[in-house]
Amino acid sequence: MKSNISSRFRLWIDKGEKPYLGLGRVILLEKIEEHGSITRGAQAINMSYRKAWQLIEDMNKLSKEPLVEKRLGGKTGGGAHVTTAGKEAIQKFYELQRKIEAFADAETLKIDF
Amino acid sequence: MKSNISSRFRLWIDKGEKPYLGLGRVILLEKIEEHGSITRGAQAINMSYRKAWQLIEDMNKLSKEPLVEKRLGGKTGGGAHVTTAGKEAIQKFYELQRKIEAFADAETLKIDF
């Protein structure tokens, strides 16, 4: 018999008790990479530049290497990119989320709610 | 070396794609049981009676047996209690949450964020 039970969850990673990565931050990183700009990446998820920059500073301080770097000046006036460490952090977050999801799905089906 | 990485999550159980149980609903059930009243249970978590009753109706409709029942009248003017099915649902939710938490903690430590 097919169960109609399922579970959902939201995951956050902390570093030393401080929020480090969550789905919102990961999507912000992806949008910055997509647009090559913090301003436009933030706009894409309806976030202010100020808020986005605060989140990036928090993440950069907590990680071994910065996750986002600003590009300096030039004709196109700067921009930003997600570093290799940043791309790895995104991948690791999704990997962890997938593993927990698979476990949670299996355990949820075992319980007769 | 002790890792300073940890994870947090919020869990929701759905039935047939509809929200059934989450930590907020579980705490509402516990408060109703504690106070023997929907009104006072809702007050304890700063929720309106209207909202609490809506959540209870949703849960009761989705579960095999009602999770909360009203007591009728009498000198003390009614009240409500959490049924055996309701108490089991609370236990099962926490049990599932504990299992996922243990798994998530272990998996989080494996990843070099």
Cβ-based contacts under 8 A for chains A and B: 86
Which positions in chain A touch B107 (Cβ < 8 Å)? 96, 99-100
B78 CA: distance to closest CA in chain A (Å): 28
User: What are the structure tokens assigned to A22, written together?
Assistant: 């969550």
What per-residue confidence (pLDDT) applies to B24?
A: 97
Give the Å distances, CA to CA, from A5 to A76, A108, B15, B16, B19: 52, 7, 5, 6, 10
Of B38, B35, B37, B15, give the one whose Cα is nearest residue B93: B15
What CATH number has the domain spanning A14-110?
A: 1.10.10.10
Domain borders along chain B are: 12-110
- According to DSSP, the residues that pair with A19 across neighbouring strands are A14
Report the distance separating Cα B37 and Cα B31, nearest Å.
Answer: 8
Cα A65 to Cα A59: distance, rounded to the nearest angstrom: 10
- pLDDT at site A72: 78
Residue A10 touches partner B, C-beta closer than 8 Å: yes
Q: Per-residue confidence at A87, pLDDT binned at 50, 70, 90?
A: very high
Q: Which of A99, A48, A45, A96 is nearest to B108 (CA)?
A: A96
Residue A1: pLDDT band with limits 50, 70, 90: very low
Q: What's residue A71's pLDDT?
A: 83
**Residue with more model confidence, B112 or A57:** A57
Q: For an interface test with A, which of B3, B23, B111, B113 has the most A Cβ atoms less than 10 Å from its Cβ?
A: B113
pLDDT mean over A45-49: 96
A84 touching chain B per CB within 8 A? no
Share of chain A above pLDDT 70, in %: 92
Do A113 and B8 lie within an 8 Å CB cutoff?
no
Mean pLDDT on A36-65? 96
Looking at residue B71, what is its pLDDT?
83
Inter-axis angle of helices B84-110 and B23-35, nearest 10 = 140
Inter-residue contact B90 to B28 (CB < 8 Å): no
The residue-averaged pLDDT of A45-71 equals 96
Which residues of B, range 23-62, sit inside 8 Å of A by Cβ?
A: none
pLDDT in tens, chain B (113 residues): 456 999 999 999 999 989 999 999 999 999 999 999 999 999 999 999 999 999 999 999 999 999 999 987 766 666 999 999 999 999 999 999 999 999 999 999 999 88
Chain B nearest CA to A14, separation (Å): 5
CB A36 within 8 A of CB A80: yes
Render pLDDT for B27-51 as a digit per residue (tens, 0 to 9).
999 999 999 999 999 999 999 999 9
**Does the distance separating the beta carbons of A6 and B113 come in below 8 Å?**
no
- Model-level pTM? 0.88
Distance between CA B19 and CA A5 in Å, rounded? Answer: 10
Chain A CA closest to residue B110: A96
pLDDT at A76: 60
CB atoms B9 and A11 under 8 Å: yes
Q: How far apart are CA B56 and CA B77, in angstroms?
A: 20
Helix (H) or strand (E) holding A12: strand A5-15
B19: β partners? B14
Instruction: Give the fold, CATH level 3, of B12-110.
Output: Arc Repressor Mutant, subunit A (1.10.10)
Mean pLDDT within A66-90: 87
Interface predicted TM-score (ipTM) of this complex, two decimals: 0.87
- For B98, counting Cβ atoms within 10 Å of its Cβ (0-12 exposed, 13-18 middle, 19+ buried), the class is exposed
pLDDT of B3: 66
B14: which chain A residues are within 8 Å (Cβ-Cβ)?
Answer: 5-8
Distance, in Å, from the CA atom of A83 to the CA atom of A108, rounded to the nearest integer, reads 37
β-sheet bridge partners, residue B43 = none
Q: A8 in contact with B at a CB cutoff of 8 Å?
A: yes
Instruction: Give the confidence band of A90 by pLDDT, cuts at 50, 70, 90.
Output: very high
Mean pLDDT of chain A: 93
A16 part of contact set with chain B, CB < 8 Å:
yes
